[in-house]
Amino acid sequence: MHYSEDDNADTPLLPATSPEAGLNTYSIRLKPWPKRHPRLIVALVAALSFSVALAVIARHGRKEIDASALSHIPTPNSTRIGPDVDEWPDRPNLVDDPVVAARLSVDALFARQSFTIKQAMARYSLKTGQPPPPNYDKWFEFAREKSCLIDDYDQIHRDFKPFYELAQNDPHFFQRRLDIAFDMMKDNPKDMSNIEIKDGEVLMPEVHANAYWDTWPITIGQFASHLPDMTFIMNGHDQPRVAFNCREPGARSKALDLVEQNPFSESPHPTSDWFYKLPGCDIPLSPEGFFASANEDSAFFTSTAKTEFTIDLYPMLSMAKIGPCFADILFPIEYYYDRSWWSGKVAYPNNIEWKDKKSQIYWRGSSTGGQVFGSNYRDFPRFKLVELARQHSDLVNAAITSFSDELCGSECDREAIIEEYNITGQGAPREDEYAYKYLLDVDGNAFSGRYLGLLRSGSLVFKATVFEEYFNDWLRPFERYIPVLPDLSDLLEQLEWAMSHDDEAQLIQERGREISQRLMTDAQNDCYFFLVLLEWARLQEISRNATLHEQDS
């Protein structure tokens, strides 16, 4: 059957203004969530308590109120109740104690989530223009049991929106692209895994195409019994793979065309010129002011460590991406699961108080970033950081501790680089970071898997990255961490601000620690991943339903 494009075929898949109405190809019936009168009473008591607290603050002034004055606000296990300080950017610190202020900010995030399935479905449809996917009721019960967020999954909606828009005119698009990828993977998986859910069981492929194959069944097994039968693709690279710009005018019609005969075969070396030619892949250094490109300051863009990209639109689950250059679908990676052996472990928690930490920014790590050709490594962020430390040793304590031999080819002088940067091969204990007030997180081959661990360290995190991860909407800059430009040009300026505003810096640190400990949990990761797979399964179901309809007609 032929599916024609609609009248808006030349518009971007993701409109810049109001969202388009999504699919409504089926109806779902959910059992009403049982009434929880005690929870409503708790919420009312909390609201009244907080109103009294605000009245006291307004009358006596913030400086005269001890943090313990707000300790009576109820905080039930499943949903913390507190003032929505996130909606008051001009009043970020309602109490003097940064620990209490940080707790209240996370309380607010949980307090504004839906309490009932009816409420959750209404908010979902408001955001997306369509009802939730099948089995959403099971997801809702799972999320409530695990004390997860209910409504704040905008990243998932953004990632899947292009595929839903295409399904309006071509319901088979999603499954057709999957079938093409599956056929290709039979001969060469290209570091991708096709994972099947069958009768609630996780079925892994015989060929283990990536490093995480042994832990994914455990992760997905947490909620596989609630998933319909489905098959999906997971990217084994740290880097994104689907180089397709859904924001480009004409992207809808372009998505329907298949350019590559052999998908995921784009492997340019180096990658700088290749990315500049792709729409949406000249990335701004800063979101503000006149445009300046960040590409030459990103090892990923100049000389990607692993390639095998596609320039066609394929559904693929990936650990990170860069918008609008890539259209991968994000999911939580194993680095961020405490139960996974991939996550970074510490021998003991932070044991140094904020006031006793050194006023320096600290970093240790490997030489990862990209393939080394000649002297291009000098533009890689980690090497630039070491140069900055040499020039400002009083402020920056940074060192490369190990050399990545796999990134050093025929045009790479390994011994010269090791000598120039004094790379000894001796690592540093992770607990050493506790001694420093400020910690830097900087991109390697792709995202840095240590980010959440740094947030929990008791030190203020500065982050320099070009990548997006699934939690970006929750971990907001200047509130939970200090952002740094990809070229590190503003690192010293941001560092000097923190040193000059110690109270505010500590508040940001506590906010980051609080949300990383209470929100960035294995349970929350499960809830996110679960919802991603429900959206994926619905798009496969749309194709199956269309096939049945065609057969009946």
Please report the pLDDT score of residue 550 as a whole number: 79
Share of the chain above pLDDT 90, in %: 74
User: Kindly report the CA angle at 389 between 387 and 390, in degrees rounded to 5?
Assistant: 65
Strands of 230-235's sheet in order across? 201-203, 192-198, 230-235, 317-318, 329-330
pLDDT tops 70 at residue 40: no
Break the chain down into helix, strand, coil percent, rounded to 5: 40, 10, 50
d(Cα 88, Cα 521) in Å, to the nearest integer?
26
> How sure is the predictor about 13, in pLDDT bands with cuts at 50, 70 and 90?
low
d(Cα 404, Cα 365) in Å, to the nearest integer?
11
How confident is the model over 263-284, as a mean pLDDT? 95
- 119-173 pLDDT per residue, tens: 999 999 999 999 999 999 999 999 999 999 999 999 999 999 999 999 999 999 9
Q: Is the peptide bond before 74 cis (omega within 30 degrees of 0)?
A: no
Please report the pLDDT score of residue 14 as a whole number: 58
Q: Which residues contact 133 (CB under 8 A, 6 or more apart)?
A: 28, 534, 535, 537, 538
For residue 467, give the nearest of 483, 491, 490, 489 by alpha carbon.
483
The tokens describing 301, both together, are 């863009």
Residue 61 Rama label (left phi>0; alpha psi -120 to 50; beta): left
What would you report as the CA-atom Rg of the chain, rounded to the nearest whole angstrom? 25
- 81-120 pLDDT per residue, tens: 333 444 444 444 456 789 999 999 999 999 999 999 999 9
Please report the pLDDT score of residue 34 as a whole number: 40
**Side-chain half-sphere of 399: how many Cα atoms within 13 Å?**
15
d(Cα 481, Cα 439) in Å, to the nearest integer?
10
> How long is the chain?
553
Give the chain's domains with CATH numbers: 37-108 (no CATH), 117-189+192-236+523-550 (no CATH), 354-522 (3.40.50.2000)
255 by Cβ neighbours in 10 Å (0-12 / 13-18 / 19+) ranks as buried
Mapping DSSP onto H, E and C, the string for 364-379 reads EEECCCCCECCCHHHH
39 neighbors 75 (Cβ within 8 angstroms):
no
How confident is the model over 175-179, as a mean pLDDT? 98
**What's the predicted TM-score (pTM) here?**
0.84
d(Cα 103, Cα 517) in Å, to the nearest integer?
11
Residue 191 Rama label (left phi>0; alpha psi -120 to 50; beta): left
pLDDT tops 80 at residue 61: no
Please report the pLDDT score of residue 95 as a whole number: 60
First to last CA, the chain: 12
Beta strand 230-235 pairing with 358-366: unpaired
Please report the pLDDT score of residue 21 as a whole number: 35
